[in-house]
């Protein structure tokens, strides 16, 4: 039986990508990374993928005429490699409605907060400043808003009085690595249904 294929978009060091790769290698995830696409030619994520013989594509925003051109090239790379779903693993650009519409309920993102609290940038810093006692991460489908799509699953971590943004981020990142793979396992088994705002486990 052919394994289901994912395309990964990454801009940075690719630690979430590595966690997915590790879980594929150890048999926890029965799927294939078809391609890793980055907007940064020097992203560490590309190196990780190349070391694992995973195809990589760079789509440099500066070399594109506009956002539509940029996203069209990403879309083409994903389709060329037969990706069925798009995984955002530290991809630092907001996707437009043009792209989201093409991949409706087929783009999965992870955010380092318990949405709908603290969307957008610096979620960990927002959580500490607000004084919450718990935070965590959220895996969700991407819609046209900022971190506002239907929630697949969440993981909770405590926030301690002496936490800094760095210590809280590290604690959340450990859960991110588990959460994304859990969500992808559910997706690969065709267990995720979307009804309005809710993700229903089939």
| Residue ranges per structural domain of the chain | 1-103, 110-202
Q: Are 176 and 136 in contact (CB under 8 A)?
A: no
Given a cut of 80, whether residue 57 has pLDDT beyond it is: yes
Query: What pLDDT does residue 1 have?
Result: 60
Calculate what percentage of the chain has a pLDDT beyond 70.
100
Average pLDDT of the chain is 96
Q: Are 150 and 197 in contact (CB under 8 A)?
A: yes
Domain 110-202 sits in which CATH superfamily? Formyl transferase, N-terminal domain (3.40.50.170)
Rounded CA separation 84/68 (Å): 21
Rounded CA separation 5/82 (Å): 7
Going by the DSSP 8-state scheme, the letter that residue 19 receives in this structure is: H
**What's the whole-number mean pLDDT along residues 118-126?**
96
**What's the whole-number mean pLDDT along residues 181-190?**
97
Query: What pLDDT does residue 56 have?
Result: 98
**What's the whole-number mean pLDDT along residues 143-159?**
96
Given a cut of 80, whether residue 92 has pLDDT beyond it is: yes
**What's the whole-number mean pLDDT along residues 71-97?**
96
Given a cut of 70, whether residue 12 has pLDDT beyond it is: yes
Given a cut of 70, whether residue 182 has pLDDT beyond it is: yes
Q: Is 134 helix (H, G, I), strand (E, B) or coil?
A: strand
Choose which CATH entry (2.60.370.10, 3.10.20.440, 3.40.50.170, 3.40.250.10) describes domain 1-103.
3.40.50.170
Query: What pLDDT does residue 140 have?
Result: 98
Query: What pLDDT does residue 2 have?
Result: 77
Rounded CA separation 9/11 (Å): 7
- Considering only the C-alpha atoms of the chain, give the largest distance between any 2 of them, rounded to a whole number of Å: 50
Answer whether 1-103 and 110-202 agree in fold: yes
**What's the whole-number mean pLDDT along residues 173-180?**
96
Run of H or E including 126: helix 123-130
Q: Which residues are catalytic?
A: 111
pLDDT tens digits for range 25-41: 999 999 999 999 999 99
Given a cut of 70, whether residue 102 has pLDDT beyond it is: yes
**What's the whole-number mean pLDDT along residues 50-72?**
96
User: pTM value?
Assistant: 0.95
């Amino acid at each position: 039986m052919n394994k289901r294929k994912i395309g990964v978009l990454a801009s940075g060091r690719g630690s979430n990508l590595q966690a997915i790769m590790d879980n594929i290698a150890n048999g926890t995830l029965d799927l294939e990374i078809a391609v890793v696409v980055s907007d940064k030619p020097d992203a560490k994520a590309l190196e990780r993928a190349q070391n694992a013989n995973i195809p990589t594509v760079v789509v440099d925003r500066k070399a594109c005429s506009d956002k539509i051109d940029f996203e069209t090239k990403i879309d083409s790379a994903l389709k060329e490699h037969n990706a069925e779903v798009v995984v955002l693993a530290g991809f630092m650009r907001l996707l437009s409605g043009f792209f989201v519409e093409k991949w409706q309920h087929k783009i999965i993102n992870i955010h380092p907060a318990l949405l709908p609290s603290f969307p957008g940038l610096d979620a960990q810093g927002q959580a500490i400043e607000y004084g919450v006692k718990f935070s965590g991460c959220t895996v969700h489908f991407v819609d046209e808003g900022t971190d506002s799509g239907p929630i697949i699953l969440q993981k909770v971590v405590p926030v301690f009085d002496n936490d800094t943004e760095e210590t809280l981020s590290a604690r959340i990142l450990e859960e991110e690595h588990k959460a994304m793979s859990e969500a992808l396992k559910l997706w690969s088994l065709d267990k995720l249904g979307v009804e309005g705002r809710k993700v229903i486990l089939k």
